[in-house]
Amino acid sequence: MSIQPILIAAAALFSIGIYGILVRRNAVMVLLSIELILNSVNINFVAFNAMLSDVFLNGQIFSIFIITIAAAEVGIGLAIVLMLFRNRETANINEFDLMKW
Amino acid sequence: MEAIDIFSYFLLLLLLLSGIKVVTTSNVIHAAIFLVFTLATTAILFILLSAEFVALVLVLVYIGAVIVLFLFGVMITRAPLGPNAELDNDQNKLFATLISLSIFGIFTYILLQTFDSTVVIREGTSTKLLGEILLSRFVFPFELVSFVLLGALIGGITLARKDNALMDEDQI
């Protein structure tokens, strides 16, 4: 199988994630879209690893590290959303405009 | 075209469809469930690319832990569990479609120019080799990542706990 369909599907998944970040209004939904983007990057790493048949499996190791960092990011992100919800009684990111000029 | 290629194309199609449903559905819980579909499809794709350990890590960490965390987050922030028309910024939709389509166009152009007919190689398993490399060549980043996780753990607890000494009764 050629590598092109996999890469194009990953690029499409990345664009879908960008769309979700720009459109969604709930902060938890924005975090879900970020997960889509990280997942597309993982697909790229593993596909390139299979394409190059790397002896040191750098692509797979990098994708494992990305998964770990993404788990940490989700934990911190949800804690921040929880904190915002506790202070402002909403998870709507349009209302968090304190630092907006 | 082999049968496994047709199966891979089917998986990629399923991946894109469930990804689109994640960002377009108007129900918060459905979005999380469709993210599970997307990640499961990705895991099957990884197994087909002979990266079975990454696939298992994806299932364990994402589908097992992260989705549960998301469902907790949805329920704690009291998002409406049924269909909700106010989940999207409607005035942003055209703008967002334009930006994501242009990013997709640029990526597709560059990828099609760069990788002409390179073939993905599927060979055996890689878990044993992966373990050996992870604990010899990449042992320093491996330990560093555990410190990052510890920092995230402490940071999450610090952010999310109710500090009764600093907070008035009516704020809680």
What one-character-per-residue DSSP string does B23-50 give? Answer: HH-SBHHHHHHHHHHHHHHHHHHHHHTT
Q: How far apart are CA B56 and CA B18, in angstroms?
A: 20
pLDDT at B85 over 80: no
Among B1, B16, B22, the strongest candidate for a mutation testing the A interface, having the largest count of A CBs within 10 A, is B22
Cβ(A73)–Cβ(A91) below 8 Å: no
Q: Which residue has the higher pLDDT, B80 or B148?
A: B148
Q: What is the mean pLDDT of residues A6-31?
A: 92
How confident is the model at residue A94, as a pLDDT? 82
Query: How far is B27 from B24, CA to CA, in rounded Å?
Result: 9
Predicted pLDDT at B34:
94
Cβ within 8 Å, pair B23-A69: no
pLDDT of B113 over the 80 cut: yes
Distances (CA, A) of B156 to A77, A85, B163, B167: 8, 15, 13, 18
The pLDDT tens digits for A57-80 are: 899 999 999 999 999 999 999 998
Q: If you count them, how many residues does chain A have?
A: 101
Specify the fold of B3-126: Four Helix Bundle (Hemerythrin (Met), subunit A) (1.20.120)
Alpha carbon of A101: minimum distance to chain B alpha carbons (Å) = 19
pLDDT at B33: 92
What pLDDT shows up at residue B170?
54
Per-residue pLDDT tens over the stretch B141-154: 999 999 999 999 99
**What residues pair up with B171 in beta bridges, in sequence order?**
none
B-chain CB neighbours of A83 within 8 Å are 159-160
DSSP-assigned states of every residue in A23-76? HB-BHHHHHHHHHHHHHHHHHHHHHHHHHHT-TT-HHHHHHHHHHHHHHHHHHH
In a domain, A95, yes or no: no
pLDDT for B87: 73
Token pair for B99: 């930006």
Q: Rounded mean pLDDT of chain B?
A: 86
Return phi, psi of residue A3, to 5°: -85, -20
Query: Is the pLDDT assigned to residue A11 strictly greater than 70?
Result: yes
Q: How confident is the model at residue A88 (pLDDT cuts 50, 70, 90)?
A: confident
With cut-offs at 50, 70 and 90, classify the pLDDT of residue B115: confident
Highest mean pLDDT among A83-87, B61-65, B101-105: B101-105
Give the per-residue pLDDT at B159: 86
pLDDT in tens, A35-55: 999 999 999 999 999 888 888
The ranges assigned to domains in chain B are 3-126
Number of independent structural domains in chain A: 1
Whether residue A85 lies inside any domain: the answer is yes
Alpha-carbon gap, residue A61 to A40, rounded angstroms:
16
User: What local confidence, expressed as pLDDT, does residue B172 receive?
Assistant: 47
pLDDT score of B169 more than 60: no
Residue from the list A33, A53, A91 with its beta carbon closest to the beta carbon of B121: A53
- Specify the range with the lowest mean pLDDT, choosing from A11-20, A77-86, B74-83: B74-83
Domain that holds residue A62: 4-90
Say yes or no for a CB contact (<8 Å) between B70 and A17.
no
Q: Say how many Å lie between the first and final Cα of chain A, rounded.
A: 51
CATH number of the domain to which A35 belongs: 1.10.287.3510
Mean pLDDT estimate for chain A: 90
Quickly state the pLDDT bin for B168 (edges 50, 70, 90): low
Q: Are A69 and A56 in contact (CB under 8 A)?
A: no
Minimal Cβ distance to B100: which of A16, A24, A57: A16
For the ranges A3-17, B71-85, B98-112, the lowest mean pLDDT is seen at B71-85
**Sequence-ordered list of residues with C-beta below 8 angstroms from that of A86, at least 6 positions apart, any chain:** B162
d(CA A69, CA B148): 8
pLDDT (mean) for A3-15: 93
Between CA A78 and CA A74 the distance in angstroms is: 6
